[in-house]
Structure 1
Amino acid sequence: MDWLARVQTARRGGAVLLIVAFSMIGALFALLPKSMPDAVPPQGGPPAAESTKVAALLKDFPDADQTAALLVFATSDGPQREVLTGPQRAAVDQRATALAGYSTVPQAVRPRFSTDGTTALITVPVRAQSGTTAIVNQADSLRQTARQGLPGGLRAWLTGPVGFQGDTITAFAGADVRLLVITASVVAVLLIVTYRSPVLWTVPLAVVAVADGLARFVVAALADSYGLSVDASILGILSVLVFGAGTNYALLLIARYREELLAEPDTRRAMRTAVVAAGPAIVASAGTVALSLLMLLFATLAGNRALGAACSIGIVIALLMVLGVLPAALVVCGRKVFWPFIPHYLEPEDRGEGGHAIWGRIGSAVQRRPWQIGGAAVLLIVLLSAGLSGATIGLSQTDQFVGHPESVRAQHLVAETFPAESGPQLVVLAHDADAADAVGIAESVEGVRSARVAGNANGWTKIDVAAAGTPQSDAAFATVKALRAAYASRGHALVGGPDAAALDQHDAAARDRVVIIPLILTVVAVVLLVLLRSLVAPLCLIVTVIATYVASLGCGNWLFQHVFGFRAFDTPVLLYAFLFLVALGVDYNIFLATRAREQRLDLGAREAMRYALTRTGGVITSAGILLAAVFVVLGVLPVVALAQIGTIVCIGVLLDTLVVRTLLVPALASVLGERFWWPAARAATRSTSH
């Protein structure tokens, strides 16, 4: 670290380093392939899942490229629907004739009317499209044709596989760009407020923005080479993480640099001291995040592995830019970059605590009453954690969007007026010789409405099974499990289809949580043990981070159920929220604890923690507020999973920044004293006695 600091702060080294660094970055921008990510996350279970095997076998069937569009006609999608009049029913008949032109089976395109006469349904078998543009164009064409020339008061909506695919693509269309623009804007505003300077904010923002752009190019190139399923949502999360974490590291470095400028007249020496002092904590923090993200490579779901690889690359690039380029850029700019609040050299007797006074008072209060303040913090965490009561995991297909897109509204209407058409559609594959028995077994399973043979290929017979309930609901999953259990005990067959794939994803996500969460905790523990050289301090910090996670889930669950109307956590939310909260939350504890450890031998354990809080309180709070605001940006997309992740991480970061790291950790350190650093404390005592 000292060698790097000397190169960055040499008289000409900084400028040379900037020229070399940006020349290399420019070359990478020019040479790396410019591939476009998938618009939406990949669907389906892990490779070994039963639904995945069914999907592979179905590719050999004649109707493998066929899907369906459901067009719903009514005067309203609410309870105030009116009975369709004669002219309106005639118009539906005409639209059926027009829609048949899109179908692979035109003669099958016929309207059906609900028993109450308020709704008409036209099922249009169509050829499945592979590209996102083609899918959206197909959905738009079907909508336009269905709505053309309808009489007054009659409306049409598109749902079914084509409708949901189109709405999902629309929800993610430009997601990464929108998130990038909003994230950069939020960071810019918060940096201006933090630094109170019209100049300084541009330097870290430019460095982090370059890091984000480079990370996106590198990730896209590696995705092409290694077959990673990188989609727009992953790139969006990547940008949020790079901007959030990268700016946090920049805030810590600049805060230490500004502090050293008050004690050192030479800007180069001040930066050298800042890099040497703050660099190890920043490296440890970034290393913790990157290694925690890499634990996702042990996941069974392709999306989890892709997110882990992409975001770990982003964190490493952000670290290299902040520690490798930002110091040189600040030294080249000189003290005036802080204008109008330029930090000038002060004599030791004139420095005092300056802007850190409020944090000094907080630290002193915690030091005087550690049991009371620590107990209040624990009580708050317990109360927030109580919000987890009644929490469930898993959302149905119609619950996975924020708001009410057309396909969701139409699906609810179909479920109300055509219950036999709205349930889960499953696919059973049985060997030709077992097909008749397989149909009988399916019909005997509770939750199955009907089962019929729908074709065969390569010795397999396809059986379409209509089930009761809502797609991707608990009832649908129960039917899939019952079918699989029935075939396992009475015959051999494979159960697949969208609902089976959703169940396999749900089960794989549960397995990933059981495997990856302990791995992440192990990584964090090892990093803290190496960095702090203590057993007690890492244990305390890990426990506080876990407590923050549980409290954030509780608070989030209460908000989701009583404010936002989300009935459950979406499947990936618990793992992603844990990953980001633990990996990023431990950052602030690392910044605080390393500063306390730095001063412990001179000041003692309790006073060192107060000093550390005094010196880091302002910058860590600013960093926490910035990171929380950046993650809230995920809520701009109409996808429940991203909105939930952003909300939980925002709550957790604020709780960690304002309560856990400010009150609870200093209270624990004050209560334990030198025992907080055991066994390093005893070694330190021995060393000072000689």
Structure 2
Amino acid sequence: MRSSSRWFRWLVPVVLLLSWLGVGATLGPYAGKLGEVATNDQAAFLPRSAESTRVLEERKAFERSESVPAIIVWQAPDSDSVTDAQQQDASHAVASLAGEAGVAGQPSPALRSSDGQALQAVVPLAPDLGDELPAALAEVRAAADSVPGLSAQIAGPAATQADLAGAFSGIDGLLLGVALGAVLLILLLVYRSLLLPLVIIISAVFALGLACAVVYALADRGLVRVDGQVQGILSILVIGAATDYALLLAARFREELAARGDRTAAALAAVQRSAGAITASAATVALGLLALLASDLTNNRALGPVGAIGIVCSVLATLTFLPAVLVLLGRTAFWPATPKPGDATEEGHRVWHRIAAVIDRSPRRVWASTTLIMLVLAAFSPALSSGGVPLDEIFVKDAPSVAAQKALSRHFPGGSGQPAVIIADAAGAADVQALASATDGVASVAPVTVSGRPGEGEPLTVDGRIRIDATLETAADSDTAKQTIAELRTRLHAVPEADAIVGGHTAQQYDTEQTAARDRTVIVPVVLGIILLILVLLLRSLLVPVLLVATVALNFLATLGVSALVFEHMLGFSGMDASVPLYGFVFLVALGVDYNIFLMSRVREESLVHGVREGVLRGLTTTGGVITSAGVVLAATFAALMVIPLAFLVQIAFIVAFGVLLDTLVVRSLLVPALVIDIGPRTWWPGILARGSRTAPVGARTTHDAKPEPRPKALDRND
């Protein structure tokens, strides 16, 4: 019987290990293949019910073929005027592109600017070029460069799409390499162990491979959507979460191994005692992400299930692969800092003893001062504008499409190349055109003719509807242009016989901002409610969960305040992407609660044996090192998003990285323990600890029970 038991104890870890090796070998490559089912077509991520989305559907009927415009802008040197011969050469150059691979129609002739110093022409490109887009743009550039005496640049949606694709190119290898490199370096420095960091990294990589394979299968069948942003966030989220959970389990295994000596019993005890905190933490993040399904923005809804899949895979790897490897390696996993019998009494690094002593001496002073600092930082949060990022700030580094758009705006109306698109009934066309022309901020108005382009001639009528393009005076992504869109809609909606709708690039940005604001009012309460419910179930208390949710919410506001200062004065951002506040809230609040769950679940366990005050101090000193390490690792992984030169991801990376560090070092280390000590047993109302019980339930124990341990002097006074 004993022999069979021994075989069973070794067989389970070996089977689990071999199973995960099979997962890594067969599914690991999907981490690099996810880009095959990703799309960076921004039009696919508009609000479902927005007016601009309706326009996008209706305008297809007015296009002979779907296309993405590339706008060529020629400039004369030294503010010279463009000659008639140069204008003719430019028109001939773009006309020669008709019928070329990737060109989806007849290019427009070259038009001269009002100052006479520039020309512009529109070349329609096929919308499904994918990886062939750069080659098609190279053909366009070659034709544009053939005009003597003028310098040519390419702007418009096609050029922007190519620059976005370039920003995301190599995302799989670069982002993964930077994130894993940062995690490995931190773990080596903190734990001074050679094998444990590698084991944790492998666990995270296996989790990522499994998650990417599941997401690939779902995206390939059209069940979820993936773009470059979602792809990048998935990699960072899985690596960060899997590493955090692994650190918590490995730390508990080390404690149990020192106390028990038997590696299998230690692994079972570590899983048993940490699984509740890990699964509760994962549930807050996964359910918080799934709350994004309530969003009307398609890219928000896309991130919800994809991120939740990543979290589930992270937990699965942590609770199966990691224990199996730890059983097989035993103390060797921590070499050369291997735990020795009797080390179970060590509560943590002496730094955490000192922090616990400071909190124990003056808990009210600690929580009051930290709360005041957080409130001061939070006071700057209203200065953070979420009205969108201007085109010239979308890319952190200089992008050719941005420089070309600036050149276009210098010589033509700011909205050139990205007009407001009005679709209305033909019966009210005259009134619509007149009202649009009279609207402040509109430079010119022209109906789309039978030629398929705006201009003179018979308007094109499709099913009794016409299309009118309104060129705006200011840049298409400016606040003034968005105000013009709102005014246009107000005026045109007042003409009932026209049934007019207004769309286009500026309208899409305006609708996205309005929808993002609506999403925040709906999703934020849902996420807070989910987190509160999970905390109540885990901690068996009502007051502690409320305190924890309030502290992480305060941490989020303080982080936004710091971000407002950093974005404007250090990074030079004049605004923030409309989706950033919601993404930042979901990640920061859900992940911030993780560390409080790790802390308070241990505090509750210790308090059942030693009382509330001493339970808080023991919980803090025991988990201080591992939670701080986990926070630093998670911050580093999210900071890796900054390697992608897009303002959206840089802003997300800073908010989450800084917020996690603030939460780990201030909220979890000082504010929460001080509050719980100051309030006392009432914090745990209505649970058993609220009655001041110091008697553990039958079978309860902690790793400190093996031997009495030394305590900080501040712990010597009575409860």
Normalised by the size of structure 2, how large is the TM-score?
0.88
CA shift in 2, pair 1:596/1:8, >3 Å:
farther
Structure 2 residue aligned with 1:323: 319
CA shift in 2, pair 1:66/1:260, >3 Å:
closer
Structure 2 residue aligned with 1:78: none
Size of the aligned set, in residue pairs, is 672
Shift in Å at residue 352 of structure 1? 4.2
State the secondary structure of the residue aligned to 1:334: helix
More deviation, 420-429/52-61:
420-429
State the secondary structure of the residue aligned to 1:12: helix
Contact 2:71 2:417 in 1 (8 A): no
Query: Where in structure 2 are the equivalents of 1:591-602 lying within 5 Å?
Result: 591-602=598-609
State the secondary structure of the residue aligned to 1:445: coil
1:97 maps to 2:92: yes
Query: Where in structure 2 are the equivalents of 1:453-464 lying within 5 Å?
Result: 453-454=447-448, 455-464=460-469
Contact 2:56 2:503 in 1 (8 A): yes
Structure 2 residue aligned with 1:10: 9
Shift in Å at residue 330 of structure 1? 1.3
Shift in Å at residue 220 of structure 1? 1.5
Structure 2 residue aligned with 1:439: 433
Shift in Å at residue 128 of structure 1? 3.2
Shift in Å at residue 467 of structure 1? 1.7
The one of 573, 592, 596 equivalent to 1:589 is 596
1:489 maps to 2:494: yes
**Please, which runs of 5 or more residues in structure 2 have no aligned partner?**
99-103, 449-459, 698-719
Instruction: Determine the C-alpha separation between the residues in 1 that align with 2:664 and 2:424.
Output: 57
1:136 maps to 2:134: yes
Contact 2:425 2:466 in 1 (8 A): yes
Shift in Å at residue 389 of structure 1? 4.2
Shift in Å at residue 125 of structure 1? 3.0
Instruction: Determine the C-alpha separation between the residues in 1 that align with 2:617 and 2:664.
Output: 16
CA shift in 2, pair 1:668/1:323, >3 Å:
same
Structure 1 residue aligned with 2:536: 529
- AA aligned opposite 1:101: S
Contact 2:374 2:554 in 1 (8 A): yes
Instruction: Determine the C-alpha separation between the residues in 2 that align with 1:432 and 1:85.
Output: 40
Query: Where in structure 2 are the equivalents of 1:65-144 lying within 5 Å?
Result: 65-74=66-75, 82-84=78-80, 94-103=89-98, 108-110=108-110, 112-113=112-113, 115=115, 119-144=117-142
Shift in Å at residue 384 of structure 1? 1.7
CA shift in 2, pair 1:140/1:645, >3 Å:
same
1:674 maps to 2:681: yes
Instruction: Determine the C-alpha separation between the residues in 1 that align with 2:508 and 2:278.
Output: 41
* Cα shift readout 1:179-229 (whole Å, capped 9, x = no counterpart): 222212212212222221222211111111011011111111112224422
Contact 2:681 2:692 in 1 (8 A): no
* Cα shift readout 1:571-610 (whole Å, capped 9, x = no counterpart): 1100000000011010000000000000112221111111
1:372 maps to 2:370: no
Instruction: Determine the C-alpha separation between the residues in 1 that align with 2:93 and 2:435.
Output: 40
Structure 1 residue aligned with 2:506: 499
Shift in Å at residue 366 of structure 1? 0.6
Structure 1 residue aligned with 2:456: none
State the secondary structure of the residue aligned to 1:201: helix
Instruction: Determine the C-alpha separation between the residues in 2 that align with 1:201 and 1:8.
Output: 28
- AA aligned opposite 1:437: D
Instruction: Determine the C-alpha separation between the residues in 1 that align with 2:147 and 2:514.
Output: 47
* Cα shift readout 1:345-385 (whole Å, capped 9, x = no counterpart): 1277xx444x4221121011111011222122112212222
More deviation, 137-146/7-16:
7-16
CA shift in 2, pair 1:682/1:260, >3 Å:
closer
Contact 2:75 2:119 in 1 (8 A): no
Contact 1:66 1:125 in 2 (8 A): no
Contact 1:177 1:236 in 2 (8 A): no
CA shift in 2, pair 1:64/1:485, >3 Å:
farther
1:567 maps to 2:574: yes
Contact 2:640 2:653 in 1 (8 A): yes
1:645 maps to 2:649: no
CA shift in 2, pair 1:358/1:172, >3 Å:
same
Instruction: Determine the C-alpha separation between the residues in 1 that align with 2:416 and 2:338.
Output: 66
Contact 2:87 2:110 in 1 (8 A): no
The one of 162, 167, 171 equivalent to 1:175 is 171
Shift in Å at residue 488 of structure 1? 1.9
- AA aligned opposite 1:367: D
1:406 maps to 2:400: yes
**Please, which runs of 5 or more residues in structure 1 have no aligned partner?**
1-5, 76-80
1:360 maps to 2:360: no
Query: Where in structure 2 are the equivalents of 1:528-547 lying within 5 Å?
Result: 528-547=535-554
Shift in Å at residue 67 of structure 1? 4.2
Structure 2 residue aligned with 1:386: 379
Instruction: Determine the C-alpha separation between the residues in 2 that align with 1:549 and 1:135.
Output: 40
Structure 2 residue aligned with 1:658: 665
Contact 1:253 1:275 in 2 (8 A): yes
CA shift in 2, pair 1:680/1:294, >3 Å:
same
Contact 1:428 1:495 in 2 (8 A): yes
Instruction: Determine the C-alpha separation between the residues in 2 that align with 1:123 and 1:23.
Output: 55
Query: Where in structure 2 are the equivalents of 1:239-278 lying within 5 Å?
Result: 239-278=235-274
Shift in Å at residue 266 of structure 1? 1.2
- AA aligned opposite 1:401: F
Between the aligned residues of both structures, percent identity stands at 39
- C-alpha RMSD of the superposition: 2.7
Query: Where in structure 2 are the equivalents of 1:48-63 lying within 5 Å?
Result: 48-63=49-64
The one of 605, 621, 624 equivalent to 2:631 is 624
More deviation, 100-109/588-597:
100-109
Shift in Å at residue 29 of structure 1? 6.3
Contact 1:605 1:674 in 2 (8 A): yes
Instruction: Determine the C-alpha separation between the residues in 2 that align with 1:546 and 1:689.
Output: 33
State the secondary structure of the residue aligned to 1:275: helix
Contact 1:262 1:343 in 2 (8 A): yes
Contact 1:290 1:311 in 2 (8 A): yes
Instruction: Determine the C-alpha separation between the residues in 2 that align with 1:250 and 1:316.
Output: 13
Shift in Å at residue 66 of structure 1? 3.9
Instruction: Determine the C-alpha separation between the residues in 2 that align with 1:162 and 1:286.
Output: 40
State the secondary structure of the residue aligned to 2:121: strand
Contact 2:242 2:314 in 1 (8 A): yes
Instruction: Determine the C-alpha separation between the residues in 2 that align with 1:686 and 1:595.
Output: 16
CA shift in 2, pair 1:332/1:682, >3 Å:
closer
Instruction: Determine the C-alpha separation between the residues in 1 that align with 2:508 and 2:378.
Output: 32
Query: Where in structure 2 are the equivalents of 1:195-344 lying within 5 Å?
Result: 195-344=191-340
Normalised by the size of structure 1, how large is the TM-score?
0.92
State the secondary structure of the residue aligned to 2:127: coil
State the secondary structure of the residue aligned to 1:59: helix
- AA aligned opposite 1:231: D
Contact 2:424 2:466 in 1 (8 A): yes
CA shift in 2, pair 1:634/1:34, >3 Å:
closer
Instruction: Determine the C-alpha separation between the residues in 1 that align with 2:538 and 2:108.
Output: 69
Instruction: Determine the C-alpha separation between the residues in 1 that align with 2:275 and 2:694.
Output: 26
Shift in Å at residue 161 of structure 1? 2.2
CA shift in 2, pair 1:686/1:509, >3 Å:
same
Shift in Å at residue 147 of structure 1? 3.2
CA shift in 2, pair 1:90/1:642, >3 Å:
same
Instruction: Determine the C-alpha separation between the residues in 1 that align with 2:6 and 2:551.
Output: 39
State the secondary structure of the residue aligned to 1:430: strand
State the secondary structure of the residue aligned to 1:121: strand
Shift in Å at residue 689 of structure 1? 12
State the secondary structure of the residue aligned to 1:472: coil
CA shift in 2, pair 1:23/1:290, >3 Å:
same
1:579 maps to 2:586: yes
Instruction: Determine the C-alpha separation between the residues in 1 that align with 2:123 and 2:247.
Output: 56
Instruction: Determine the C-alpha separation between the residues in 2 that align with 1:609 and 1:687.
Output: 13
Instruction: Determine the C-alpha separation between the residues in 1 that align with 2:561 and 2:581.
Output: 12
Instruction: Determine the C-alpha separation between the residues in 2 that align with 1:31 and 1:371.
Output: 52
* Cα shift readout 1:70-107 (whole Å, capped 9, x = no counterpart): 223347xxxxx723388x99667545432331257768
Contact 2:238 2:311 in 1 (8 A): yes
